[in-house]
Amino acid sequence: MIVVYLDLKECVLLDKKLLVFMDQLELLEEKRERLNSLIEQGWFSMSKARYSMGNKQVSSLQYGSEMEPLVRVHTR
C-alpha cells in the first residue's frame, strides 16, 4: 500500500483543478445537448421539406447509401 502525503497548498490546488474540470464537463454536456437538439431540428426540417416536395422527387437522401444500381440508363 502506497501512502501519499500532500500539504495544504497541494490539496487546495487539486481542489481548484477538480472544480475547473467539473465546470468544463458541465459545459461540454450542455453543448452536447444543444448539438443533439440542433441535429434533431435539422432532421425534422429535412423531413418537412421532403414531404412538401411530394412523392415526385427522388434523391439519394431517400434511400440507403449502401444501395448500388443494377441497371444504368443513358439518355440523349
Higher pLDDT, 71 or 18: 18
Once rounded to an integer, what is the mean pLDDT over residues 59-76? Answer: 73
- Other C-beta atoms closer than 10 Å to the C-beta of 57 total 11
Assess contact for 21 and 36: CB atoms under 8 A. Answer: no
One-letter amino acid identity for 7? D
Banded model confidence at residue 28, pLDDT cuts 50, 70, 90: very high
Q: Is the dihedral of CA 32, 34, 38, 40 positive or negative?
A: positive
Once rounded to an integer, what is the mean pLDDT over residues 42-59? Answer: 76
Strand ranges (E), 1-76: none
Highest mean pLDDT among 17-21, 42-46, 55-59: 17-21
Q: Which residue has the cell 474540470?
A: 21
* The model's pTM: 0.54
